[in-house]
Structure 1
Amino acid sequence: MQTPTLVDLGMRPFFQQQLTLEELEHCSLGRVIEHHKTEVVVLAGNDALRLSLNPNIDGICVGDWVVFNGDRLLRVLERQSLFQRKAVGSARARQFIAANIDTVFIVSSLNDDFSLNRIERYLALAKETNVEPVIVLTKADLCADADDHRQQVQSLDSLLSVYCVNALAPDELDLLKSYCRRGRTVAFMGSSGVGKSTLVNGLLGSEQMDTGEIREQDSKGRHTTTYRAIKWLPEGGLLMDTPGMRELQLSDAKEGIKLTFADIESLASHCRFQDCQHQNEPGCAVLDALEKGEISARRLDNFHKLLREDAHNSATLAQKRAKDRAFSKMVNTVQEQARSGKKFK
């Protein structure tokens, strides 16, 4: 491939308009393609530069556009999209997953790990960030009723793009290549062992990601991807593979949940009470639709579950932000008093 331009890397007016004249004249611009514990790899043209993380830059992640000077990171440009989640095992922290993604392939296998609830969870995350979701159901060659599973997923949203594939059959991946054109960035999300790495290798045209075997006792996969990285696709786009996320929890994703469950939200507008919780209230249009079989109990239960989870996680994150603001205010007060010669009591 020739030296990639900024456009090849996904540059567009949204990012260009954020640069100052001084930055254009004296600094460089690049995109984060790998994120490690103490450093990031930034691609600028043909050069892949390893830059140490700047403690003054908060929350940098793969897919970010960054301004740098020599080996010094200066700042991160405002993101067009950002996938994030409540950090695993944390009550308050938030983890950034990927930035500036155009299309996210939500991957689910057609074995015993298939779960509509999990797909709805990923859809809520995608819709919250205004990124195009595409559902990819893998291991179709091992499933006797693959089309039935596809119809179940399609019933979640009639406009949703849903594909059943055997990731080991190159011709079956052609349908996905239209999303991988020049200047576009695609990401993969899904639980461990659903075939993401095999799918990535198929689109890349080579074995660049390790793959693992499936445990026979529970159809679960062994986690094979251990860090987030962007790679070039033959069609000219960029592909990001992410580690499997077994504990993906939502936070600040209420609008994404509502968009994912648009049918329930539409019914809710006809409930007798505006604050109807769709539990046992009289005149509830959602419960009426449930009784008539227009929506499933599984879908309504998952709607309630995701809303509760989002409300809880959003509240704990809001508490952390408030605590951080209070601490910063106290530090500023101490510093101001020290500068003015006043004794802090």
Structure 2
Amino acid sequence: MTASALADLGWQPFFAEQITPDDAGLVPMRVASVHRSRLSAETGAGQVRLELPLHATTADYAVGDWVLAHADTRVLARRLDRRALLRRRTEGADTRQLIAANIDTLFIVTSCNDDFNAARLERYLALANEAGTQPVIVLTKIDKVDDPAPWRDQALALQRGLEVVLLNAKDPNAAAVLAPWCGTGRTVALVGSSGVGKSTLLNTLADKAEGQAQLTGAIREGDAKGRHTTTARSLHPISGGGWVIDTPGMRTLHVADVAAGLEMLFAEITELAPLCRFRDCTHAHEPGCAVQAAIAAGTLSADRLERWRKLSEENTANTPVQTGPRGNRTTIPRGGKRR
């Protein structure tokens, strides 16, 4: 693969620096889709099916990963370290599900109807912050409301400096609205609930022909919920340059190991906490609590504090504990046994 073709796929010095003399004869490829029993990869000249090495499973790989494979057999040799990784905890599982790797911008798609849920959007923002990926809230279905400004204002209040864009996913101009985050070598991902217009937006960004377009589904008017039309994560070229990763709709999103992401998300609480009288203040009932004082003064929402508390407690409960001497640490779940 030529240097320019690699760059078009999102290759960066971060990945080039991981290549060693032992990798001679191996070809860089980018994972384009992950299914239960197979992987496909972009080569710069089209997609190919990758063969997994012995004992490897597709669960070890995310769409957007860079891998090295044997040019003749297409057997995957190894995965390069990730520059960014989005993953979520699933209920009842010890491991976290991989969402997408090596993305520059996360488009968190919601719509100007009952799908808009501040608490769920904050979960996406925490994941993006922790991964070091720029989040952008994309408000769709603006053609269905008289004035989308109230929805925009609610979204802007979720995090300092947050970018929020409004569009009609079916409008060809939607690609121009998102162009500042796209372009050659850039990778974006679409996440959000079913029915908010992710597949429609994908078709617009990728300028797919009618026969190649991703299936789209209508929403129920009663609760603004849609059905899943995307069933697997996949990588697609953007018509103006760059790549977009589509993901299935996610209604349940549990957080784990996102302490830094929560600090960024709730910066106004993070900054007030050191001003409390007690170092271990829970911001619930202690005297001299700077956070409660801000609520009383009207500069902080009580609902915002409650959502911070819920996410913080969930993150603590779901984040494994490292115990034991340095160099021989053991990971144990909260309240669980060593493993």
With normalisation by structure 1, the TM-score equals 0.88
Report how far residue 144 of structure 1 moved.
2.4
Three-state SS of the structure 2 residue aligned to 1:301 is helix
* Higher alpha-carbon deviation: 198-207 or 253-262: 198-207
| Corresponding residue of 1:330 | none
Asked whether the equivalents of residues 127 and 260 of structure 1 are also in contact (C-alpha less than 8 Å), the reply is: yes
| Corresponding residue of 2:49 | 50
Q: How many angstroms apart in 2 are the aligned matches of 1:211 and 1:315?
A: 38
| Corresponding residue of 1:154 | 156
4+ residue segments displaced more than 3 Å: 315-318, 323-326
Aligned partner (choices 101, 109, 121) of residue 107 of structure 1:
109
Asked whether the equivalents of residues 91 and 313 of structure 1 are also in contact (C-alpha less than 8 Å), the reply is: no
Deviations 1:61-103 (A, max 9, x none): 111001111221111100000001112x324221111100000
> Cα distance 1:239–1:269, how it changes in 2: closer, same or farther (>3 A)?
same
| Corresponding residue of 1:14 | 14
| Corresponding residue of 2:326 | none
Deviations 1:155-203 (A, max 9, x none): 2234211011111122244120121100000001111111111111111
> Cα distance 1:214–1:276, how it changes in 2: closer, same or farther (>3 A)?
same
| Corresponding residue of 1:40 | 39
Asked whether the equivalents of residues 92 and 313 of structure 1 are also in contact (C-alpha less than 8 Å), the reply is: no
Q: How many angstroms apart in 2 are the aligned matches of 1:263 and 1:34?
A: 39
Report how far residue 306 of structure 1 moved.
0.6
Asked whether the equivalents of residues 188 and 243 of structure 2 are also in contact (C-alpha less than 8 Å), the reply is: yes
Report how far residue 320 of structure 1 moved.
5.8
Say which one has the larger Rg: 1
Aligned partner (choices 227, 245, 248) of residue 240 of structure 1:
245
Structure 1 residue runs of 5 or longer lacking an equivalent are: 327-345
> Cα distance 1:251–1:158, how it changes in 2: closer, same or farther (>3 A)?
closer
Deviations 1:200-236 (A, max 9, x none): 1111223521110111221111111000000001111
| Pairs within 5 Å for 1:301-312 | 301-312=306-317
Three-state SS of the structure 1 residue aligned to 2:309 is helix
Q: Given the alignment of the two structures, is residue 86 of structure 1 paired with residue 86 of structure 2, yes or no?
A: no
> Cα distance 1:229–1:91, how it changes in 2: closer, same or farther (>3 A)?
closer
> Cα distance 1:157–1:262, how it changes in 2: closer, same or farther (>3 A)?
same
Q: How many angstroms apart in 2 are the aligned matches of 1:3 and 1:45?
A: 10
| Corresponding residue of 2:30 | 31
Three-state SS of the structure 1 residue aligned to 2:332 is helix
* Higher alpha-carbon deviation: 46-55 or 91-100: 46-55
Three-state SS of the structure 1 residue aligned to 2:60 is coil
Q: Given the alignment of the two structures, is residue 251 of structure 1 paired with residue 250 of structure 2, yes or no?
A: no
Report how far residue 324 of structure 1 moved.
11
Three-state SS of the structure 2 residue aligned to 1:286 is helix
Deviations 1:232-266 (A, max 9, x none): 01111001000111111111001101100001111
Deviations 1:84-140 (A, max 9, x none): 1112x3242211111000001011111111111111111111000110111101101
Aligned partner (choices 228, 234, 238) of residue 229 of structure 1:
234
Q: How many angstroms apart in 1 are the aligned matches of 2:290 and 2:130?
A: 25
* Higher alpha-carbon deviation: 310-319 or 139-148: 310-319
| Corresponding residue of 2:75 | 72
Q: How many angstroms apart in 1 are the aligned matches of 2:168 and 2:12?
A: 34
Asked whether the equivalents of residues 38 and 53 of structure 1 are also in contact (C-alpha less than 8 Å), the reply is: no
CA RMSD, Structure 1 to Structure 2 (Å):
2.2
Q: How many angstroms apart in 1 are the aligned matches of 2:271 and 2:279?
A: 13
Report how far residue 3 of structure 1 moved.
11
Aligned partner (choices 270, 291, 309) of residue 265 of structure 1:
270
Q: How many angstroms apart in 2 are the aligned matches of 1:235 and 1:295?
A: 42
Q: How many angstroms apart in 1 are the aligned matches of 2:311 and 2:106?
A: 20
Q: How many angstroms apart in 1 are the aligned matches of 2:3 and 2:79?
A: 23
Asked whether the equivalents of residues 143 and 168 of structure 2 are also in contact (C-alpha less than 8 Å), the reply is: yes
Three-state SS of the structure 1 residue aligned to 2:7 is coil
Three-state SS of the structure 2 residue aligned to 1:34 is strand
Q: Given the alignment of the two structures, is residue 136 of structure 1 paired with residue 138 of structure 2, yes or no?
A: yes
Q: How many angstroms apart in 2 are the aligned matches of 1:172 and 1:30?
A: 30
One-letter amino acid of the counterpart of residue 279, structure 2: Q
Asked whether the equivalents of residues 237 and 244 of structure 2 are also in contact (C-alpha less than 8 Å), the reply is: yes
Sequence identity percentage: 45
Q: How many angstroms apart in 2 are the aligned matches of 1:62 and 1:316?
A: 28
Report how far residue 307 of structure 1 moved.
0.6
Three-state SS of the structure 1 residue aligned to 2:115 is coil
| Corresponding residue of 1:339 | none
Structure 2 residue runs of 5 or longer lacking an equivalent are: 323-330
Equivalenced residues, count: 323
> Cα distance 1:324–1:183, how it changes in 2: closer, same or farther (>3 A)?
farther
With normalisation by structure 2, the TM-score equals 0.90
Q: How many angstroms apart in 1 are the aligned matches of 2:63 and 2:174?
A: 28
Deviations 1:286-336 (A, max 9, x none): 011011111111111110111111111113894269x9985xxxxxxxxxx
One-letter amino acid of the counterpart of residue 176, structure 1: L
Structure with higher helix content: 1
Q: Given the alignment of the two structures, is residue 170 of structure 1 paired with residue 172 of structure 2, yes or no?
A: yes
One-letter amino acid of the counterpart of residue 61, structure 1: A
Asked whether the equivalents of residues 160 and 267 of structure 2 are also in contact (C-alpha less than 8 Å), the reply is: no
| Corresponding residue of 1:216 | 221
